Amino acid sequence: MLETSARLLALLGLLQKPGIRAGADLAARLDVGERTIRKDVERLRALGYPIDTIRGPSGGYRLGDHGKLPPLLLDDDEAVAVAVGLQAVTAVRGIEESSAEALAKLDHVLPSRLRRRVRALHDSTSTGPADTATNVDAPPVDPALLTELAVAIRDRTGIRFAYRGDEPVEAEPYRLVSWQQRWYAVARERRSRDWRAYRVDWMRLKTPGGARFAPDPLPGADYTAFVLREVASTGWAVHARIEVDAPAEEVLARINPTVGVVETVDEHRSVLVTGGDSLEIVAVWVGMLGLDFHVTEPPELVEHVRTLAARYAGALPAG
């Protein structure tokens, strides 16, 4: 006899098939009594799965919602975790389509209560480019917090939260953006009307939230680009100005323009204003430009590049 959790999955699998399944048939297939089948059906209903009971001589059980619900049992946090993971990999080259299809399938396999929450998260989230990396551990983010923000975005409801520990904020949320293993909420601050990108792991929502608001989207509605620009200018742990021996046009052709600002010095030189989570990452990014450069600030980056120069020089064969 199957254990309860495996039996519930098997029962859902049998109910996927079109038509009405008699209780006696289900009991025989699962090697249990009809009383156990009745209890298992109640367990599935308690989890939110729509199972109809059909009375009469030809009666039995039928999977509701047009019988299109495949066998999958996830609690709230598990469902959100799967959605978050699939959303993140939609930006990975080569598997974008497969990831999007998996998200669509997830939408169909969840009970209606969870489906609405996961759909809100999916519809409210954008993902930044996946061609950068970091050597700093990603901060943990509460799945429940992500879904609360997603629901607020869907329902156009204001939010109240403490930011960076104790800074009180009231804002109108418009979009969640996942980038560099971090989550950002793009929102408009209620009093100043300024657009901000808030780190979700620095947010602590308060209840009750704010009032409903009439949408007034960000001009251009490119929330991902907005987050990347905000992080490039204010959100990095390390900020740097790099003098590059190349015109601004050539530097821009080698970077994502949203993660750095390039200033023209003259027709042969420019300055790249950028940053990263650590000195090591900034040094790697600058080295990957493939152009001659000069580091002037911050002092810690200057010293780190000097150390790298000595290390690389020492790695060369003598003579």
Inter-CA distances, 137 with 182, 212, 277, Å: 10, 36, 10
Cβ–Cβ < 8 Å for 193, 182: no
Neighbours of 153 (CB within 10 A): 24
pLDDT beyond 60 at 1: no
Amino acid at 219: P
State the span(s) of the chain assigned CATH 3.30.70.250.
236-315
Q: Which residues pair with 127 in a beta bridge?
A: 178
Tens of pLDDT along 296-313? 888 999 999 999 999 999
Rounded Cα gap, residues 170 and 285, in angstroms: 36
CATH tag for 4-67 (out of 3.40.50.720, 3.30.56.10, 1.10.10.10, 1.10.10.350): 1.10.10.10
Cβ–Cβ < 8 Å for 127, 90: yes
State the span(s) of the chain assigned CATH 1.10.10.10.
4-67
Q: What angle do CA 40, 43, 45 make, to 5 degrees?
A: 110
pLDDT (mean) for 59-76: 64
Rounded Cα gap, residues 319 and 313, in angstroms: 12
pLDDT beyond 60 at 23: yes
> Between 88 and 287, whose confidence is greater?
287
| CATH topology assigned to domain 236-315 | Alpha-Beta Plaits (3.30.70)
